[in-house]
Amino acid sequence: MNASHAPIATQPAPSNAVAALLKRKPQFFIGGDWVEPIGADRIPVLDPATGKQIAVVADAGAQDVDRAVAAARAALEKGPWRHMKPVERQALIWKLSDLVEKHTDELAELESLNNGKTKFMATVVDLAGTRDYFRYMAGWATKLTAETFETSIQGPPGVNFHTYTRREPAGVVAQIVPWNFPIAMAAWKLGPALATGCTCVFKPAEQTPLTALRLADLIAEAGFPPGVVNVLTGLGESTGAAMVAHPGVDKIAFTGSTTVGKLINKSATDTLKRVSLELGGKSPVIIFPDADLDAAVGGAANAVFFNSGQVCCAGTRLFVHRKAFDRVVEGVSAAARAIRLGPGLDPATEMGPLVSREQQERVLQYIESGVRDGATVLTGGMAPNAPGYYVTPTVLADVRSDMRVVREEIFGPVLVAQRFDDIEEVAAMANDTPYGLAASVWSSNVSTVQRIVPQIKAGTVWVNCHNFIDPAMPFGGFKQSGFGREHGRAVLDLYTELKSVCVAY
Ligand code: NAP
Ligand code: MG
C-alpha cells in the first residue's frame, strides 16, 4: 500500500469572469426568462478541492416544476418553435455550439471549480465534446426522415391507399443528469431533443448546477424561442421526482445511478411516459498476452482513473491473461502512483478530487469493504490529508467475483484486477455482472478479437482503446445499465413518435 503521496496544492483563485458567475442570483430559467424561485429553499454549491461554498442555487419545488412544464408545453404547442423549418432549428443549435466554443475557457473553469476535474480535461474533453455534440445533432434536424411503403390492404373496389410514416417530436421532455460530466451531459440531452423539435425541462445534479445555468444564458443568446429549454436546479428526490411524475411531461431522459433509474421507471409506469435510461456500469478491461502491453497498461490506467474514476463506462474490472498479469498490474499500479492529485485550476494537477464528501466516503468505504473481504491494496486506498475530497488512485488484487468491490459500481478511482486463462473463461467472468454498459478488449490477434466481441454483453466494446465516445456511435446499456441508445441515428427514436398515415384515394 502506498502510504505517502505528494502534498496537495491549494486551489488558485478563479478568474474575474468566473468569480462574477459564481455570484449569480439563485433563479430558474423558465419561459425564456430568469425567474425568482417560489420557495425559499437554497442549495449551497461547493468546490470539491476545498470543501468551501462557492455559490448558491435555488431548490425548485413542485410549483416551480409546474411553471417550467407549462412553459415547455406552451412552447411545444403554441409558440414559433413548432412552425420552425428544420434548417432554422439546425441553425439555432449550431449557433449554440458557436457560443459554447466562444465561452470555452470560462465554462471549462466553471466546470473544473464545481466538479473538481482539471480545467485542462474540462477544456479538451467536456467543452470540446459539448460543442461537437451540438454540431453533430444540429445536422440531424434537417435529416429526419420517415418511410413510404406499399401495403396489401383490401379496400372497396376502386379505392387505393397511400401509406407513410411521419416522425413527430416526443413532446415535453424531462431531462435529469448526474454530476460527472455536467455540461456534456446537458448537450447529450438537449442536442437530440432540439434537433427533433421537442421542448425541455432540464435538471442538473444538485452538486454541479453551475455550467447548466451558464448554458441557459447561451441558449437565450442563441435565440431559441421562450420555453423551448427550461432549466431548474434542485434535489433529485423533490425536483427530479416532481418532473418525473408531472402529467405534462411526455418523456423522461435520465442518466445516473441504476437505483434511481429503477425508481424513475416505476414512477413512469403509471402514466406510461416514454423513458430512456443511461445507468451505471462495472465495465471489464480484458487484456490478452499478445496485446501491445505498454499501450494496454496505459489504456487500462486511463480507463479507470480518467475523471477520477467517475465515469459510467469506466474500466473498473481488469482481467489480464495469467502470462501477462504481473507485468500489467505492476504497470497500472506504477501509473496510479505517478498521478499527481490536486485542485482542478492548478495546471500541474493530473487528477482532481471526487465530487463530494459523500462520494469520497462512499469510495473509501468500498475500499475498506474490499480489504475486509480479503483484497490486497497494491497502491492507493487512502484519502490524502487535505480539505478536498481526494482519494488516491487504487488498485486491488486478490479479489473474488463475490466481493462487493467486484460486483458494485464504486464510481471512483478503484480498479480490481483478476487473472484468466482463456477466451471462454474471461467472457463468462466479464459478463458476470448485472451491468452491461461497455467493455474493452486488448489484443493484436484479430481472431481473438473477433471471437470475444460477440460474446461480451455490453452496449459498447472498444478494441485496443477505452472510453472513446463519438456523437455518431450509439451509446447505452445492455441489462441493468439501462435502455435506449443515445447518439447517432439511434437517439432519434428516443425523441420522436412514429405516426402511420393511411390515405384512401
Ligand atoms: P443519482 O442519485 O442517480 O443522480 C442522478 C440525477 O438524478 C441527479 O440529478 C439526481 O438529483 C437525480 N435524482 C435523484 N433521485 C431522483 C429521483 N427520485 N427522481 C428523479 N431524479 C432523481 O446519482 P448520484 O446521487 O449523483 O450518485 C450516486 C451514485 O450513482 C454514484 O455513486 C454512482 O455509483 C452512480 N452514478 C452513476 C452515473 C452514471 O453515469 N452511470 C452518474 C452519476 C452517478 P440529485 O443531484 O439531487 O441527487
Ligand atoms: Mg443523488
Are 167 and 145 in contact by the 8 Å Cβ rule? The answer is yes
Q: How confident is the model at residue 4 (pLDDT cuts 50, 70, 90)?
A: low
> Which residues, by Cβ under 5 Å, contact ligand 2, an ion?
236
Task: Count CB-CB contacts under 10 A for residue 31.
Answer: 19
Active site residue 168: no
| Ligand 1 neighbourhood includes 263 CB (under 6 angstroms) | yes
Q: What is the pLDDT of residue 6?
A: 79
> Which protein residue's CA is at the shortest distance from atom 19 of ligand 1?
241
Tens digits of per-residue pLDDT, 182-220?
Answer: 999 999 999 999 999 999 999 999 999 999 999 999 999
Residue type (1 letter), 6: A
Helix (H, G, I), strand (E, B) or coil at 97: helix
Active site residue 465: no
Q: What is the pLDDT of residue 3?
A: 45
Tens digits of per-residue pLDDT, 138-187?
Answer: 999 999 999 999 999 999 999 999 999 999 999 999 999 999 999 999 99
| Ligand 1 neighbourhood includes 412 CB (under 6 angstroms) | no
Q: What is the C-alpha to C-alpha distance for residues 251 and 271, in angstroms, rounded to an integer?
A: 10
CA 197 to mean position of chain CA atoms:
22
Helix (H, G, I), strand (E, B) or coil at 384: coil
Q: Which three cell numbers stand for residue 371?
A: 480489504
Q: What is the C-alpha to C-alpha distance for residues 98 and 101, in angstroms, rounded to an integer?
A: 5
Residues 6+ apart with CB under 8 A from 326: none
Q: Which three cell numbers stand for residue 503?
A: 390515405
Q: Best mutation site among 43, 46, 65, 176 for ligand 1, i.e. most ligand atoms within 8 A of its Cβ?
A: 176
